[in-house]
Structure 1
Amino acid sequence: MKPQISELINSAKQLGDFSDAEKQEIFLTIKEAKARGLLRKQPDDRCLNKYINLANYLLRTQSAEEFTSALNQNLECLYVYVALVGLNCITTTA
């Protein structure tokens, strides 16, 4: 079961917080990647930005157990996930 956005926000608050500029950079990067067709269930590509690679990892593992584990361990993954949900790339139960 995918975590709800409210759960992710609470988790992010416990782990720390990025500056608004960093959160905006993540969102804009994922938005641009979607527009360019770079979001796919593909393995890491060293030519892509780290946020795009994280997004592709989440897309690839969204139905696997490691998906939730990644969200709980990595603050960047939380914000990438929120961007993916916000851009309708991943559906959520929220």
Structure 2
Amino acid sequence: MSAYVVVELTVKNAVAKDLYSAAAGPIIREFGGEFIAGGAWSALAGVQGHPQGAIIRFPNRDSALGWYNSAAYQATLANRDARMTCSFRLIGN
């Protein structure tokens, strides 16, 4: 069963965010992940957190955790946190 990382984010600097995304994308693909949606949220019910988001599909939970905890991805966190405020959630097996 696939696992999904749901990201909610507020961009602090759009150009810098694109640099982070360019660095993170190849690492995501290395662990079998793929972006399946991204952009502005449309709240259907409840309170919306951040105005934008992304959904990344991985083959399974272990692949998603392997990506997030990898040394390569962890090395991008300082840049990520300087460019956006975000939350990451994992769902699925």
TM-score by length of 1: 0.28
When Rg is computed on C-alpha atoms for both structures, the one with the higher figure is 2
Higher helix share: 1
Higher strand share: 2
Point out which structure has higher relative CO (alpha carbons under 8 A, 6+ apart): 2
TM-score by length of 2: 0.28
